[in-house]
Structure 1
Amino acid sequence: MKKKIAIHWFRQDLRLQDNPALYHASQHQNVLPVYILDDLNAGENQMGAASKLWLFHSLSSLSNSLNGKLFIANGNPIEVFQNLTQEYEIEAIYWNRCYEPWRIKRDIQIKEQLFSIGIEVKSFNGSLLWEPWQVQKKDGTPYTVFTPFYRKGCLNAPAPRLPYNLPEKLNLCDISNLDANIKKLDLLPQIPWDAEVIKSWEIGEAGAQKCLTTFLEHGIENYKEGRNFPAQQSVSRLSPYLHFGEISPNQIWSACMGREMTDHMDHFCSELGWREFSHSLLYFNPDITYQNLQSKFDTFPWNSDLTLLTAWQKGQTGIPMVDAGMRELWQTGYMHNRVRMIVGSFLVKNLRLHWKHGERWFWDTLFDADMANNAASWQWIAGCGADAAPYFRIFNPVTQGQKFDPKGHYIRRFIPEISALPDKYLFAPWEAPEHILQEAHINLGKTYPLPIVDLKQSRINALEAFKLLSL
């Protein structure tokens, strides 16, 4: 007689603690933990190279936590489950919900097919503080402006649930043909570039908890102001852990609620609220990843010079604050939030390249490449999204650098070839007298690029293009 098995399907919840689906699956006598890489249904939304790298190490950590009993598969999940049901008596499958449109469509089909063959399926909220449908206006429509969404909607909704404890008893299956080989997913780069990129991260559930503890003990005290200064250690860097579910928003929220609610703490909690807002926008606007939320931007005269895009991607624009951000991204898989706004504004306004180019590049290079956050944030900076920054709000990367990196620590870290410049000229090397450049061993156009656009003129051109939308 075959033993009855309950499957827990790991997705964007690569942790054991506060995992609702795993907790409920553990009530069964035998639990088979499964991870399936589904590039088939993902289509153009397959993970980028940086995400795959993080996933490899995250799955390795998770597998170790499960004593090597994580079943690994690659392909269409329904086929994987059907194969398992032919070999074993699968009585139930549990998972935590995901909110990307392609996953929602796929999961509905999987539920229907599993129900049709008599398998119980249960899904849970393991990724958000509030489900998108829980936070709506009084008339039943979704919010399109962040502040009322968070202050009126979220904070007046039922409080987020407390984190689940670690399952008291988790009887993992010993099955004869357990495939736990993560390498077969082909997640690592063909040409090794990953060693340097991951060295500043401890990937996995334990690393996520350490990151949260360090931030709450040392980073939160100056968060509201300090989060704008990229050279300071005043941000949490929790976003990759949140995206892969190595830590849940409920664990973070609960840890915050257990401390004094200062202005800094309130501001940090509102950033968790922005994550909720992004997921709400994606849920109610499933085409947000490619369609302007404000349709008037559909006729915007975007630039088509992709040589400008290449310079931006490589951190070779000749604008130090922009280049430092793009190099931080390339070297660490991460970019400071203030700098994300600066490089985003430069791409869509000074270069007038479509925000989709930036969204795709971030998708491929960010460890925290989350569909909801990525799309909502790029539409925000481009001025075409919900509650967007007005298009005429154009960040000046020179003055932004002078204000938020006044000693040049951030720029000098990522652009060592101009590090010898005095602070006065560090943010705009093209303004430095020739003798200053020579003393710093800088030959503009050779050792460091000349600006690929004139900041003043490109700003004027962007505003003139925007005016055409209002005619």
Structure 2
Amino acid sequence: MTDPTILWLRRDLRLADQAALAAAANEGPVIPVYILDDETPRHRAMGGASRWWLHHSLAALDAALRAKGSRLILRRGGAEATLAALAEETGAKRVHCLRHYEPWWRNAERAVAKRLDLVCHDGNYLAPPGSITTGGGAPYKIYTPFWRALRQHMPPPAPHAAPRDIPAPARWPNSDSLEDWGLLPTRPDWAAGFAEDWMPGEENAHRRLDAFRDDVGDYAEARNLPSVEGSSRLSPHLHFGELSPAQVWHAVGDQPQVFLGEIGWRDYAQNVILQLPEYAAKNGRAAFDAMPWRAGSDARADLRAWQQGRTGYPIVDAGMRQLWTTGWMHNRVRMITASFLIKHLLIDWREGERWFWDCLVDADYGNNSVNWQWTAGSGIDSNMFPRIMAPLVQSPKFDAGAYIRLWVPELAGIADTAIHDPEASGCRPKDYPAKLIGHREARERALAAYAQTK
């Protein structure tokens, strides 16, 4: 029997349209391994909500592999040392993986390649990040021309089916127990509500994609209506690689341009972090280094109120409570809550980025950092800071009344005419907080602070 090959899995937890798995299976026996590596990312280790998803996704992947005559090996530690030890233990000479673009994974791939025969494949994006360039060969920094250029290379190649079977090694190496990793919260179980909204795993990802296909024609309008929740809700499945973007593209067709543009935004975000690896920590525009963000006890209290959904702005509070309860937040409400933290509370966008990183089941280094910098105005492609989103206008404009009643039960009995701003209507319940700051006062403070960046 030939020596086995290692399949190194990270955010690519699927069997279909998985180029690394297909290549490994063509060579002979395959040892699929997932390494819980908190050493390599260091302070960028997965947040709590992502770990909940990971637990269930790995369980589903192991079951799918066993149906193909294989299984998933679990190991914990630094990726480089763990893969080297596994190769020595099993006699494997080669490692196949899908290429990743987070700075810590790029470093890890370089380190592994120095010790083992590492073969990296593409497959997590519509086009390999870095491959879409200007006529002069430079990478794009602005989304619109990037998307226009990417469209010239679409559609992506048709996705491949999963292997019919996966050759197994003569002897399986030892594996950790998934339960022993402690990925699920217990004391307290703050993720108790996640299972009502989510079913991780490749099979469930395709079920959600099939359901969304019937609604994709309404996406352009419905994605902005929190009470409808017209988003695809595919983002965590894409983040963990339970679906490939090629599978999504070919499932929905070439016509829903607004939705496909959101898939293209994933590619754009990866191109940004490829150029600026520290984008989650450093302003894309140097002028923002002079922004006088609030600090001290008052700012910390306001940050905590924002995290808990106790700002006195119903649409903001509904979004933050949905995030805590389900690990996800509606598309438009993400923009409203982020803008509120940055511009109404004048708190550094990095505080919000870190909170979302811990609380989102779809927390993605590229998307999260690019989206926060876009909202802050500090990004290389971003909204202008003086364009301050008004939550008391956004809420009725996008008919968020039912959404507020769902997530802020203290306001369930408020009339439609008052629910967006019960304080101004004189019907704020005693158990619902007053506004942390008035909109006009917040706007004036934000613009005065912004003036110091010029």
Task: Classify the secondary structure of the residue corresponding to 2:347.
Answer: coil
Partners of 1:401 and 1:29 in 2: how far apart?
57
* Residue 418 (str. 1) matches residue 411 (str. 2): yes
Decide which of 360, 367, 390 is 2:361's aligned counterpart. 367
Q: Is the 8 A contact 1:379 1:388 kept in 2?
A: yes
Q: Is the 8 A contact 1:398 1:427 kept in 2?
A: yes
Decide which of 87, 90, 110 is 2:89's aligned counterpart. 87
Residue 176 and residue 469 in structure 1: after superposition, are their counterparts in 2 closer, same or farther (change >3 A)? Answer: closer
- Residue type matched to 1:204 in 2? G
Partners of 2:314 and 2:229 in 1: how far apart?
21
Instruction: Give the CA deviation at 1:176.
Output: 4.8
- Residue type matched to 1:150 in 2? W
Partners of 2:3 and 2:399 in 1: how far apart?
60
Q: Can you list the C-alpha shifts for 1:170-190, whole angstroms capped at 9, x where unaligned?
A: 112353543151122221114
Residue 174 and residue 317 in structure 1: after superposition, are their counterparts in 2 closer, same or farther (change >3 A)? Answer: farther
Q: Can you list the C-alpha shifts for 1:347-399, whole angstroms capped at 9, x where unaligned?
A: 00000000000000000000000000000000000001022000011111111
Q: Is the 8 A contact 1:134 1:157 kept in 2?
A: no
Instruction: Give the CA deviation at 1:158.
Output: 6.1
- Residue type matched to 1:161 in 2? P
Find the counterpart in structure 2 of residue 132 from structure 1.
129
Decide which of 275, 287, 290 is 1:296's aligned counterpart. 287
Decide which of 74, 77, 89 is 2:76's aligned counterpart. 74
Partners of 1:45 and 1:9 in 2: how far apart?
20
- Residue type matched to 1:127 in 2? N
Decide which of 435, 438, 454 is 2:438's aligned counterpart. 454
Partners of 2:114 and 2:312 in 1: how far apart?
55
Unaligned runs of 5+ in 2: none
Find the counterpart in structure 2 of residue 340 from structure 1.
334
- Residue type matched to 1:251 in 2? Q
- Residue type matched to 1:23 in 2? A
- Residue type matched to 2:447 in 1? L
Task: Classify the secondary structure of the residue corresponding to 2:27.
Answer: coil
- Pairwise CA RMSD: 1.4
Partners of 1:159 and 1:193 in 2: how far apart?
41
Decide which of 402, 419, 431 is 2:396's aligned counterpart. 402
Q: Is the 8 A contact 1:226 1:232 kept in 2?
A: yes
Q: Can you list the C-alpha shifts for 1:128-151, whole angstroms capped at 9, x where unaligned?
A: 111122111112222121111101
Q: How many corresponding residue pairs?
A: 447
Instruction: Give the CA deviation at 1:159.
Output: 4.3
- Residue type matched to 1:325 in 2? G
1:426-441 matches, cutoff 5 A:
426-433=419-426, 436=427
* Residue 154 (str. 1) matches residue 150 (str. 2): yes
Q: Is the 8 A contact 1:23 1:164 kept in 2?
A: no
Q: Can you list the C-alpha shifts for 1:408-453, whole angstroms capped at 9, x where unaligned?
A: 10000000111111111111111123xx45xxxx22xxx0000111
1:244-393 matches, cutoff 5 A:
244-257=240-253, 261-262=254-255, 265-304=256-295, 305-393=299-387
- Residue type matched to 1:317 in 2? T
Partners of 1:179 and 1:468 in 2: how far apart?
56
Task: Classify the secondary structure of the residue corresponding to 1:8.
Answer: strand
1:45-56 matches, cutoff 5 A:
45-56=44-55
Runs of 4+ with deviation above 4 angstroms: none
Q: Can you list the C-alpha shifts for 1:184-235, whole angstroms capped at 9, x where unaligned?
A: 2221114122222222111100110011110111x21211111100111421
Partners of 2:340 and 2:150 in 1: how far apart?
33
Find the counterpart in structure 1 of residue 115 from structure 2.
113
Q: Is the 8 A contact 2:8 2:95 kept in 1?
A: yes
Partners of 2:170 and 2:365 in 1: how far apart?
36
Partners of 1:291 and 1:216 in 2: how far apart?
38
- Higher mean displacement: 82-91 or 69-78: 82-91
Q: Is the 8 A contact 2:191 2:326 kept in 1?
A: no
Residue 229 and residue 176 in structure 1: after superposition, are their counterparts in 2 closer, same or farther (change >3 A)? Answer: closer
Q: Can you list the C-alpha shifts for 1:83-119, whole angstroms capped at 9, x where unaligned?
A: 22332221321000110011101111111111xxxxx
Decide which of 187, 191, 194 is 2:191's aligned counterpart. 194
Partners of 1:155 and 1:85 in 2: how far apart?
41
Instruction: Give the CA deviation at 1:28.
Output: 2.4
Percent identical:
38
Q: Is the 8 A contact 1:296 1:469 kept in 2?
A: yes
Partners of 1:70 and 1:369 in 2: how far apart?
24
Decide which of 226, 231, 235 is 1:230's aligned counterpart. 226
Task: Classify the secondary structure of the residue corresponding to 1:32.
Answer: strand
Instruction: Give the CA deviation at 1:253.
Output: 1.1
Task: Classify the secondary structure of the residue corresponding to 1:134.
Answer: coil
Partners of 2:450 and 2:306 in 1: how far apart?
22
Q: Is the 8 A contact 1:69 1:180 kept in 2?
A: no
Task: Give the TM-score normalised by the residue count of structure 1.
Answer: 0.92
Task: Classify the secondary structure of the residue corresponding to 1:167.
Answer: coil
Partners of 1:227 and 1:11 in 2: how far apart?
29
Partners of 1:388 and 1:29 in 2: how far apart?
48
Task: Classify the secondary structure of the residue corresponding to 1:109.
Answer: helix
Find the counterpart in structure 2 of residue 4 from structure 1.
3
